[in-house]
Copies of this chain bind each other. A is one copy, B any other.
Amino acid sequence: MTFSPEVTYARQLDRQDTLADFRSRFMIDDPDLIYLDGNSLGRLPLATGRHLQTAVDEEWGGRLIRSWNEGWFTLPERIGGKIARLLGAQPDEVVVADSTSVNLFKLALAALQAQPHRHKIITDDLNFPSDLYILQGVCGVNGRSPTHIQIIPSPDGIHGPVDAIIEAMDNDTALVTLSHTVFKSGYRYDMAAITAAAHRAGAMVLWDLSHSAGSVPVDLNSANADLAVGCTYKYLNGGPGAPAFLYIRRDWQKKLTNPLSGWMGQRNLFDFDLDYAPEVGIRRFLTGTPPVLSLAAIEPGVDLLLEAGMDAVHTKSVRQTEYLRRLWQAVLAPQGFYLNSPRDPEQRGSHISLGHEEGWRINQALIQEMQVLPDFRQPDNIRLGIAPLYTTYEEVWTAVSRLHTITSQRLYEKYSHTRQTVT
């Protein structure tokens, strides 16, 4: 394999990239670092630093308590309304609140309580574990109508068990809940097909969009999806642990009860009535006072995606993940790397997981001496995330060539097999 023509080709792809200029809108203080973990924590938009400084100095420091009435109070639905445009939802169907896990608890429990005659939750073993833990918690408290979870196994650890999921749907099924794009393999479900099948069985569907929002086309309304949650710190570039979003289809909003019935969901909350009487719309699924600084930090990243347009973002994502897949095939497969993601971009999100028998040690070498930041997911996944707003084709090529260097020169051998906590 001759490498120098390849970097020339990658640079040519970058020159042709209509989104290339967006990279300059992010803080990139170390141009030698290849960051392929935007699917865990998106980069910092430059506008966010300025936006936060205003929120801190002028809004908190200067306007103090008055800022609640001057904008903070409506931030959850205002930013939610913008995220809705990335998800094919109405502005009044999305709100920002809490964490993905807390929102999942609220919506899953509300869905169960709305259907006390149904006792089954269906999910799969590709779902993000926190979702499974939360579902266990939901079943633990939903004592009036004991509920159990059916975890459908993936046939290969990569693809979603679509047929088995649909087969498991029955008239005892209250809820089908899946990660739309799964966290390890990047497999992406057909939202419309799964949702339609669940509705035929009379069940509700709750999508976790954490790995989808801002990277792949999502059309909640056209799929007629009931419920969704997702985080804002991956492809939305909202900042570490930034508050999550939740979506409730409009007709469900008045039928569902928020079990975490806090004052931010109360109608006329400053009347301080002793009895809970929720707001009419999506705000009823708010709970406590939102973390304003982390909340405000979400907006500039969402604005960048709206400016770029999800069609363009997804088109580039497909081009870059396909480029990476072809490079894997040509350069890395001969080195013992295997593809832990679907081959078909229609079945994939915006990351590619590469497996290798020495995956953990290779990943360590990549980070420690190759200036490439992927992340690692047990047992053997080196996860390479493509964030189309700032990932370049040259970076994809360079990461592949460095992986090749690590294996061809056996640079990983100096690293320990012992695994540490990594995010």
Is the C-beta of A330 less than 8 angstroms from some C-beta in chain B?
no
Question: Could you tell me which A residues sit within 8 Å of B by CB distance?
Answer: 27, 29-30, 35, 37, 40-41, 43-44, 48-49, 52-53, 56-57, 59-62, 64-69, 72-73, 98-102, 105, 109, 113, 125, 128-130, 132-134, 136-137, 140-145, 151, 231, 233, 239-244, 257-264, 266, 268-276, 287-295, 297, 373, 375, 377-378, 421-423
Q: Is the CB of B61 within 8 A of A41?
A: no
A72, B294: Cα distance in complex, Å = 14
Report the minimal beta-carbon distance from A340 to chain B, rounded to whole angstroms: 14
On whether the beta carbons of B233 and A421 are closer than 8 Å, the reply is no
Known A-B contacts A61-B49, A64-B41, A137-B259; the reply to A101 vs B288 at CB < 8 A is yes
Closest approach, in angstroms, between the C-beta of A117 and any C-beta of chain B? 14
Bound-state CA distance A287–B105 (Å) is 10
| CB pairs A–B below 8 angstroms (11 shown) | A68-B240, A68-B423, A69-B421, A98-B99, A141-B141, A142-B143, A241-B288, A241-B289, A241-B295, A244-B288, A292-B294
Complex Cα distance, B99 from A271, in Å, reads: 21
B130 touches A262 (CB 8 A): yes
Question: Do the beta carbons of A102 and B287 come within 8 Å of each other?
Answer: yes
Closest to A375 in B: B65
Question: What separation, in Å, do the CA atoms of A67 and B240 have in the docked complex?
Answer: 9
B residues less than 8 Å from A295 (CB atoms): 241, 291, 294
Partner of A293, one of B37, B144, B297: B297
Contacting residue for A57 out of B27, B60, B260, CB 8 A = B27
B421 near A270 (CB under 8 angstroms)? Answer: yes
Which residues of chain B have C-beta atoms less than 8 A from A100's C-beta? 288-289
- In the bound complex, residues from chain B placing their C-beta under 8 Å from that of A263 are 101, 128-130, 133
Task: Kindly state the separation between the CA atoms of A270 and B288 in the bound complex, as whole angstroms.
Answer: 29
Q: Are B60 and A378 in contact (CB under 8 A)?
A: no
Q: How far is the CB of A217 from chain B (nearest CB, A)?
A: 25
Residues of B with C-beta under 8 A to A292: 239-241, 294
Residue of A62, A240, A287, A377 with most partner-chain B CB within 10 A? A240
Point out the residues of chain B lying under 8 angstroms from A61, CB to CB.
27, 29, 43-44, 49
CB distance from A378 to the nearest CB of B (A): 6
Question: What is the minimal beta-carbon distance from A317 to any residue of chain B, in angstroms?
Answer: 19
A145 to B293, CA, bound (A): 39
Pairwise interchain contact B259-A373, C-beta atoms closer than 8 A:
no
Contact check, A240 vs B137: say whether CB atoms are below 8 A apart.
no
Complex Cα–Cα for A48 and B262 (A): 28
Contact (Cβ within 8 A) B37 A56: no
**Which of A62, A73, A130 gathers most chain B CB within 10 Å?**
A130
Supplied contacts A99-B290, A293-B294, 9 more A-B pairs, CB within 8 Å: A30-B62, A69-B421, A98-B102, A99-B287, A101-B262, A102-B288, A133-B275, A137-B259, A239-B293
Q: Residue on B with the closest CB to A55?
A: B240
Asked whether A56 and B40 contact (CB < 8 A) given A137-B260, A373-B66, the answer is no
Closest to A67 in B: B240
